[in-house]
Structures are given as structure tokens and as C-alpha cells.
Structure 1
Amino acid sequence: MKTVLITGANRSIGLETAKQLSEKGLFVYLGSRNLENGEQVVKELTEKGFQNIKAVEIDVTNPDSISAAKSSIENEQGKLDILINNAGILGVIPQTTTETPVKDIQDVFDTNFFGVIRVTQAFLDLLKKSDSPRISNITSGLGSLTLHSDPNWKYYHVKNAAYGPSKSALNAYTIALAYELREMPFKVNVIDPGYTATDFNAHSGPGSVESAASFIIKHTLTDDSAPSGQYYSNDIEDETGISPW
């Protein structure tokens, strides 16, 4: 049975991804900053018939929390097949480039960018024990510099000082990570689940969590011939789903 860790999985897209992967027969570690919250979610899922889901406490901004989660999974499984870096924050709104305090921008980057690096580096040795390791970094269309430079893009005017740039940085890190792991069986990609109705955006997005999770899984449970170092978006309206960087 393949194992997967999803950070920030106690609600919204992360939770739906956990549910769908459980239904596909994977053992899911449902990452939550607060263990009690995560265990309550797992209890509710178990009562609904979901199997092989376990809550694990992991705060991506806290190295000790990450280390403890890694030790727990290593003791129970010995390896990790899939890492989905889903945890993210929007930050204080509005985020003007001229007035947003640097501390507010740093807080967003600490979760959305540095948090991914912390978790990835911590779990890399467990992923290397898998026959087909996968790392999916959950990004946003707002991280695309190409789209942000196109006045005809439908979200052209949605610009900010912290959230979008944190995802652009994440995209850049993913390219470098995929390159560094290119001689191993890793598939490392960034996946934009699309503008989805969640608590994150006060349910303003047009997409559903079911569609978002399905898209993440489609580009995570890939075969050996699949690309690595790619940028997929659920908002791109063609069969490839490939987004410009």
C-alpha cells in the first residue's frame, strides 16, 4: 500500500484530496497543525466509511514539528511514497507592494515557500526509499509571471505583494528540485488546483473542491513516463493542463 503525506489536510482541498486518495487505496497521513483538529476530522471520516487515514501533527513553520512527524511516519511505514505540500496561507489583505509591512510578507513566505522546503528536505530520505516517489507542490495561477504580464488574462488585476510572489518562488524552487532529482525516479511538479470555492477565499472561487482534488491526484499518481518539473493548472482550458511559467 502506497503512503502519502498531505500537509494542511484537515479542511478544504487538502481534506478532499485525502478522501479521494483513501478511496483509491492509499494510506493517507492527514497533516494538521493541531493534532486534536486532525484527529476529529479522521474520526468523522472513519464514521463515514473512509479507511487508512491517520492524523499527524505537522506545522510547516516549525522544524521540531516537522521532525516529529517524520519520525512518526518513519517508525510506522519505513518510507513515504508521495508528499503533497498543500499547506498555505493567504496572509493579511490587502497586500499592496508599497505599504504591506515586510513582516506580513515574510509570514506568508514562511509557510508557502520556506515551509515547503523544510518539509521536502526533512522527508527526502523517506521518499528515496520509494520505488516511485512523487512530490506535488500546490501552487496558484497567481504564481505565473507569464500570465501576470498579460493584460488579457482574466486575473490580470489580481496582484499582491505576498501571496502571488510566494507561489512564484515555490514554482522556481520546484524547477530546481526536479532538476536535482532528475536521475532518480522522482516526479516533482507544481499543481494549481484552480480558483476553488474554499474558506481560503471566502468561497468566491467558481471551482469545486472535488474537481481541485481530482486534478491534483491526476498529476500526482503518474506513471514513470510522466513529466517532471512541470506546472499544471486546473484553470488552463486544454487537455494538457500545462500552465506557462
Structure 2
Amino acid sequence: MTITFITGANKGLGHETARRLIEAGHSVILGARDAERGAKAAAALGARFVQIDVTDDDSVAAAAKDVAANEGAIDVLINNAGITGRQVAGLDELTGPDAVEVFDTNAISIVRVTHAFLPLLRQGTDPRVVNVTSGLGSQTLTHDPARVESHVISPLYNGSKAAVTMMTMQYAKGIADVRFNAVDPGYTATDLNGNTGTQSVTEGTDAIVGLATEPAEAGTGRVVNRHGVVPW
């Protein structure tokens, strides 16, 4: 049975991904920062809950230790946890701490979690990492007036997702025994956008589930959405 660990999975895209992968036969470890909400979500889905704050080294290390003691390995790591950051009236109000919070949660956490879970992935079968990025981090899409991405001004979120995509590509080039791919869920109705997205949460997880379940020959070092390869 494929064992999958998902961060930020107590709600939204992470929760729906967990539901769909359990339905597909995966054994899912649901990771979340809030212990009460995470445990409740896991119990409802039939997943195992592990508390993890992706911005905290000790919390991430403890989560990896928990999985090592219980499952001993994982096959899929889905780095899904993310935030939009503090809402401001104008960009001139953004501060250094605002940037640190967003980049730490969305981008630096991927390094932190990947480092802790790589030994577990290497004990698994066809190990893969799926990093949730965004079309808002694509220079191509954000410069195309016909795309909704070009009308969103959010330097910290967009910049952090551009970093996620580049880091994914670099991991894919530098680590040969684990596959790394990034996924753009698309404009999906979740708490991150006040549920204004035009896609359902199921549509938003199509590509995440696809990367988590595809065969090894599908490859590494790609950015995809539910329609195919994403230009960036």
C-alpha cells in the first residue's frame, strides 16, 4: 500500500487530496499544525494524524520521527501547507516580517520538510515529492493579460510560489533517486481566496492526485496543472 504524508491537510486542497487518495487506496498520514482540527479531520477521513508546524524545525523533526516509528517509510510527500500572508491596503505597508512569514511557510518549509522526510522516502517504493505551487508564481502567466494570474498583485505570495517552482526543479536535477514535481491547482475556491475561486476543491486537486498516483516513468522536474504542463 502506498503511504502518503500531506502537510496542511486539515482543510482545503490538502483535505480533499487526502480524501481522494484514501479512496484510491493510499494510507494517508494527515499533517496539520492545529492538533484539534487535524485529529478531527483525520478521524473523519480514516487517516492517521501527525501534528506538524512546517515553520518549526523541532516540530518537523518530531513529525518525521513519529512516522519513522509507526510507518517506517513513506512513498509520497505532498508539501501543501501555505498561506497568503497579512492583508494590507497597499504594497507600501508590506514589511520584512511579513515577507519572512510568507516565505518561511510557503517556500523555506519545503526545504525543512523535505530534509526531514527524505530518509523515509528512500525507504519507500517509487518515492516522490509533490510541491504545491501556483500559476501566480509563473512569469509567463502573470504577464499574459488574458490570464487571471496577470491581474493579481501579491508580491509575497507570488514570489514565494515562484521560489517553490524553482526549488522543485533544482531538487529534481540534484536528487536522482526521488522524483520531484510541482503542481498548480488553479483558481480554486478555498479559504486562501475567501472561496472566490472558480474551480471546485475537487477540480483543484486533480493534478495533485495525478502526480501522487502516476507511474514512475511519468518523470521528474515538471510543473503541471489539471490541463497539462504549466509554462513558467
Residue 87 of structure 1 is matched in structure 2 by: 81
* Contact persistence 1:95–1:160 (CA under 8 A): no
Amino acid at match of 2:231: P
Residue 56 of structure 2 is matched in structure 1 by: 62
Q: CA deviation at 1:43?
A: 2.6
Amino acid at match of 2:189: A
After superposition, give the CA deviation of every residue in 1:88-138 in whole Å (9 maximum; x if it has no partner): 000012385544112101110010001111000110111111220010000
Amino acid at match of 1:83: L
Q: CA deviation at 1:26?
A: 1.0
* Contact persistence 1:32–1:59 (CA under 8 A): yes
Paired residue for 1:229, among 205, 221, 225?
221
Residue 147 of structure 1 is matched in structure 2 by: 141
Correspondences of 1:137-176 after superposition (within 5 Å)? 137-176=131-170
* Contact persistence 1:29–1:54 (CA under 8 A): yes
Distance 2:88 2:150 in 1: 16
Q: CA deviation at 1:42?
A: 2.2
Which stretch has the larger CA shift, 219-228 or 200-209?
A: 219-228
Structure 2: gaps spanning 5 or more residues: none
Structure 1: gaps spanning 5 or more residues: 46-50
Residue 39 of structure 1 is matched in structure 2 by: 39
Which stretch has the larger CA shift, 92-101 or 216-225?
A: 92-101
Residue 119 of structure 1 is matched in structure 2 by: 113
Distance 1:20 1:72 in 2: 24
Paired residue for 1:76, among 43, 54, 70?
70
Residue 48 of structure 1 is matched in structure 2 by: none
Residue 25 of structure 2 is matched in structure 1 by: 25
Residue 191 of structure 2 is matched in structure 1 by: 199
- Under a length normalisation based on structure 2, what TM-score does the superposition of the two structures give? 0.95
Amino acid at match of 1:75: A
Residue 208 of structure 1 is matched in structure 2 by: 200
CA RMSD of aligned residues (A): 1.4
Amino acid at match of 2:66: S
After superposition, give the CA deviation of every residue in 1:140-197 in whole Å (9 maximum; x if it has no partner): 1101012222333332121222000000011111110000113x2x221110111101
Secondary structure of the structure 1 residue equivalent to 2:149: coil
Residue 242 of structure 1 is matched in structure 2 by: 229
- Under a length normalisation based on structure 1, what TM-score does the superposition of the two structures give? 0.90
Distance 2:78 2:88 in 1: 28
Secondary structure of the structure 2 residue equivalent to 1:37: helix
Amino acid at match of 2:217: S
